[in-house]
Amino acid sequence: MNVCLNNEMTIVSIRQPGYLPYMGFFKKIQSCDVFVFLDDVQFEKNDWDNRNKIKTTEGNMWLTVPVLHKFGQKLNEIKIANNENWKDKHRKAIEINYKKTQFFEKYWYEIDNIFAKKWDKLIDLNFALIDYFSSKIGITTKTIKSSELNIKSTGSERLLEICKKVSSDTYLSGELGKNYLDEKIFKQSKINIIYEKFQHPTYNQLGNTFQPNMSIIDLLFNEGEKSKVILEDSKNY
């Protein structure tokens, strides 16, 4: 599958679809022409695939979706451990800590309805939440799942092959990519690499001390429709 785009310069970025992602995740999507969800790589326990943070009066709090998994399973194969009462815990935690924010009532009903649905696979829950938040902050970037591209390679070769599949000449990498990317093979294929350096903006946030890197719900509940402008004005590289 090749995705042909008409732009003279096509920036692609690639990342796993995490749970309740933070602002920088959505900035990354906004900053490229094509965003590829890396949904068929190995699930990383205790990473961002099934957890994220919200702000509380005492700092921050992890919300973790319990999962059933075996070593080596791909992210799109991971099932949720629905025998645990995680939904009520997450919904209650969000409601308690954000009900006094200015725009809680504007968005909570729709978000709560997403939680209320029956989710078997983690990936489906994550995509539903990402799609919802993207629609509310005005993201229109073309998105693709890596599982649709039929790629067998791994590591830097996998990322390079994805770039080629979507006809990209520029790869927007996470900042930590400097530690593992094989830049030589990208150069040989005439694909530029940009390393992001997300600068987290401050915004009106409930409480006295600003806590960066919270789930995107923090921005949305506190700033409402202004979230789109705040995201657009933030810097990524």
pLDDT by residue for the chain (237 residues), tens only, comes to: 334 444 468 999 999 999 999 999 999 999 999 999 999 999 998 899 999 999 999 999 999 999 999 999 999 999 999 999 999 999 999 999 999 999 999 999 999 999 999 999 999 999 999 999 999 999 999 999 999 999 999 999 999 999 999 999 999 999 999 999 999 999 999 999 999 999 999 999 999 899 999 999 999 999 999 999 999 999 988
pTM above 0.85, yes or no: yes
Question: Is the Cα dihedral 207, 209, 215, 221 positive or negative?
Answer: positive
Residue with tokens 């927007």: 172
Q: What is the pLDDT of residue 8?
A: 67
Q: Which helix (H) or strand (E) holds 51?
A: strand 51-56
- CA distance to 42, 53, 93, 135, 227, per residue, from 217 (Å): 27, 10, 12, 13, 10
